[in-house]
Amino acid sequence: MPDGTLAAIDRLFDLVDHGVDHVERVLNRGKQTVERHRTRKQRSMEAPAPTSAPRKTSSGTASSSTALARKARFYIVEAITPSGITEFVVTDGGKARTACPSREIAEQILVALEKAS
């Protein structure tokens, strides 16, 4: 066979391999998201309960307020742009969000946001 035919066959198989990899990644995304959600939920359930000892104020009396400050929860969402590029979005579920080109950068931003809040 001429070299042009072999090159065309190689390109065809490369295209098929790329398509199969893309389909596998899309199909397994739901499974990976469920697994991440389960591990995140298990970690939150394993968190130690706060102690119930009353806190002393500066005047020496126990505080009657039981309200706790609620932290903003940030998480990473994997999204595919219309042009087919995978991006990782760090969001709080509302309007706050930032898109990152890689998961490593998104995780660094997530850690920084959790420390800040």
CA-CA-CA-CA torsion sign (61, 62, 66, 72): positive
Task: Please check whether residue 72 is in contact with residue 117, taking contact to mean a CB–CB distance below 8 angstroms.
Answer: yes
Is the pLDDT at 79 greater than 80? The verdict is yes
> How many Å apart are CA 11 and CA 3, to the nearest integer?
12
Predicted local distance difference test score (pLDDT) of residue 96? 80
pLDDT digits (tens, 9 = 90+) for 19-53: 888 887 777 776 777 777 777 777 666 655 555 55
Evaluate if pTM is beyond 0.85: no
Query: Which residues lie across from 90 on neighbouring strands?
Result: 76, 98
∠35-100-22 over CA atoms, to 5°? 55
Is the pLDDT at 64 greater than 70? The verdict is no
Is the pLDDT at 109 greater than 80? The verdict is yes
